[in-house]
Amino acid sequence: MDTLTTNRQTLIEAINALPDEKLIELASFVEYLQYKSTRQKEVNNHGSSFLMSIAGLGASAETDISEQDEDILKNEIDSVRGWGLKADDRA
């Protein structure tokens, strides 16, 4: 007999030994486990493709934008005051 069959038989015996009032709690737990396993499959199947589609990753023809990012940040960050308008832009 394989391990899975042995485990199933052990579970069946444990369930049969439970008092009747505990069966409702067990049924709720089993439903939760079913929901959890179904939910994990859905997340694994759709999660990454959904995130990729809303982020638009991979849609750009640019291969190296790191230098552009640095130029943009140089223009937007004041070296003394940090984020915000540069001193020459203030009134």
- pLDDT, tens digit, 9 for 90 and up, residues 56-77: 655 666 666 666 777 777 777 7
| Distance in angstroms (rounded) separating the CA atoms of residues 49 and 32 | 26
CB of 48 closer than 8 Å to CB of 57 = no
pLDDT averaged over the chain? 75
pLDDT at 12 over 90: yes
**Residue 23: HSE in the Cβ half-sphere, 13 Å Cα cutoff:** 8
Angle at 60 between CA 59 and CA 62, to 5 degrees: 155
* 0.75 surpassed by pTM: no
Backbone angles phi, psi at 57, to 5 degrees: -65, 140
